[in-house]
Structures are given as C-alpha cells and as structure tokens.
Structure 1
C-alpha cells in the first residue's frame, strides 16, 4: 500500500467532517444554499423535501401532518447521518432548522460524533420570501406548492437562532451574502 492510499484509507472518526444545517423561512434560499454547500469533496446532501415527497406522497395537508412525518423521518435518519459523519463524510442537511426543537436534533447529531458544524441562517424578509414563493409555485419545480396563507401559518413557528443555543452560525442576507459568522 502506498502512503497516498494509506492516507485515503486512514480517515478517522469525523476527520474533517462537517455538519451543515440551514435555518430560514420558506423560500428564503435554503435549498439554493445547500446545493452550493454540497459542492465539496466527501460531502453528501440529504433533502427533507425529497424524502418527504417520496415517503409520504399526498399525506402532508396540515402543519401537524408535516410535524409527525418529519419527526418520524428524523428518527430513521439520525443513525445514518451520524454514521456518515463518523466516517469522515460531511453532511449538508436541507431541513428547516427553524425551531429550537429541530435545532436541538441538529445539535445532538454533531455532539454524538464530535464533529464540526455550521448553522447557516438566511435572514430574509417575509416580503422577499413570499415573492420567491410565488415564483417557485409558478415554476412547478418544487415538490410542494405553498400558498401565502400556508406561508403565514407555518412562519408563525419560525424562531431565529439565538447565541445561547450553542451553534457556530453564519448569517446571510437576502442576496446570499454572508453578513456575520459566530462560533459557539
């Protein structure tokens, strides 16, 4: 075995693995950002919308439907995500880490395997999000259509991340520009 191949095979637990999580209102740009974040070697993307659309077609009609299906999916994926991180594979989660509870799940992931992490917070106004949402609905490219009333109903549960939650946070504005970085 060459020293070069030994280096590839000698990846230890969480060797350079990073867990990336995104926080932002509907249509704030989370999926667009995660597509950019995954463009790094040894990085995988797991998209909640894709999994939910495949696992629970036509079952999401209310916020309660979403909450129960998403919780079930997180339970199933937890061990898999931790295994990837422990193997040195970075993971980008295109999940809305928009509440204290969902962020607690994210924290449990990176703490379980002691890997690096970033919570990417897209700080975008309701007006811009609604404009993007309407354009997304018209395009038909997203697996879910969300009305303005549904946007308002869901956004009531949105809680911006707080420094005392213990995350490394990168804040972005509506153009995708980084406004600030803060480590825990």
Structure 2
C-alpha cells in the first residue's frame, strides 16, 4: 500500500465528453480503484431503466450503497476514481459529503468537448452497441440540459480537460 494521501477523482462533463475514458486512465495508477456507475446500474437495474426518472431512482439506490464503500476505500488508503456523473450541484454535494468523512484529497476533472465532437462520439457509441446503455437523441438532449458547470466555491480541486475532438 502506498503512503501517499488517497485521492477521490470525480468526473464532470456532458454526455459523451470522455468521462469513462479518462476514468479508465486515472484508474491505471497504483493503489487506485475504479467504480463505474454505468457498470453497476446495468448489472443491477438494467431491465428497470427505460426513462430518466428510472435512472434517477436507480442511481439514488446505488449511491446509498456505494457512498459508505467509497469512504471505506479512501480511509483504507486507496484512491478512488468515481465514474459517477458529477454534472449537477446535488451530485457534487453527495461527493463532498463522502470526502468530509475522510482525509483524502480530491480532483474534480471537468471535461470540455465541443458539441459536434460529443455528438459524433455519442453516435459512434450507440452504433457500436458495446456501451451498457443505449441513449436516444431525446435523452441525449435532456441529459445535456441538466448539466451544471462546477464553480470554485463548491470546494473541489478543479482539473480542466479541454479537447477539440
């Protein structure tokens, strides 16, 4: 086990911005665990999630179980890449509450990708069919509209990732 202070890595960005790709890169570091909301939700609730309200209900259940687990991992000295969307103030407040139960550092990775590049990634992801969830164009628009840019006063260490494609 490393003697470094563990880090909670959180990911913020609109749909198809590359959050899960970055999560996998971050999780390749020693003493780091990846927790992917999409993987857990598709396994536990995949047949129950057809609408955004379904997602919100199932995601809330998952957070109830995962929250204490994340705290335990951080307190055990492991860094955690939390591939759960930190796209709204309320989601980030939940993550802030987890951090307050630990001595861990944090990095809120904010991914900024132009709309045309995100749309192309989204279309390619749906065409490939290997993502745990297929999202309709209407859901893409709705999920994009829910996004709230993080601010410095939320108390996170912001790490901005700007990409052009």
Query: Which TM-score tier does this pair reach, normalised by the shorter chain?
Result: over 0.9
1:63 pairs with 2:52: yes
1:165 pairs with 2:154: yes
TM-score normalised by the chain length of structure 2: 0.95
Look at both structures and tell me which one has the larger radius of gyration over its CA atoms.
Answer: 1
- 2:136 & 2:69 partners in 1: Cα distance? 33
Deviation at 1:175, TM superposition (A): 4.7
Which residues of structure 1 form unaligned runs of 5+? 1-7, 177-184
- 1:126 & 1:166 partners in 2: Cα distance? 27
Deviation at 1:59, TM superposition (A): 1.1
* Partner SS for 1:95: strand
- 1:112 & 1:174 partners in 2: Cα distance? 33
Residue 120 of structure 1 contacts residue 170 of structure 1 at CA under 8 Å; is this kept in 2? yes
Partner residue in 2 for 1:94: 83
What are the residue-to-residue correspondences of 1:38-49 with 2, within 5 Å? 38-49=27-38
Name segments (4+ residues, structure 1) moved above 6 Å: none
TM-score normalised by the chain length of structure 1: 0.85
Greater RCO between the two (CA within 8 Å, min separation 6)? Answer: 2
- 2:119 & 2:135 partners in 1: Cα distance? 10
* Partner SS for 1:20: strand
CA RMSD of aligned residues (A): 1.5
Q: How many positions carry a matched residue from both structures?
A: 165
Deviations 1:78-136 (A, max 9, x none): 11110000000000011111000000011111111121000000011222211100001
Residue 114 of structure 2 contacts residue 164 of structure 2 at CA under 8 Å; is this kept in 1? no
* Partner SS for 2:109: strand
- 1:17 & 1:175 partners in 2: Cα distance? 31
Deviations 1:18-68 (A, max 9, x none): 000000111100000001001111100000000000000221111111111
**Bigger mean CA offset, 105-114 vs 37-46:** 105-114
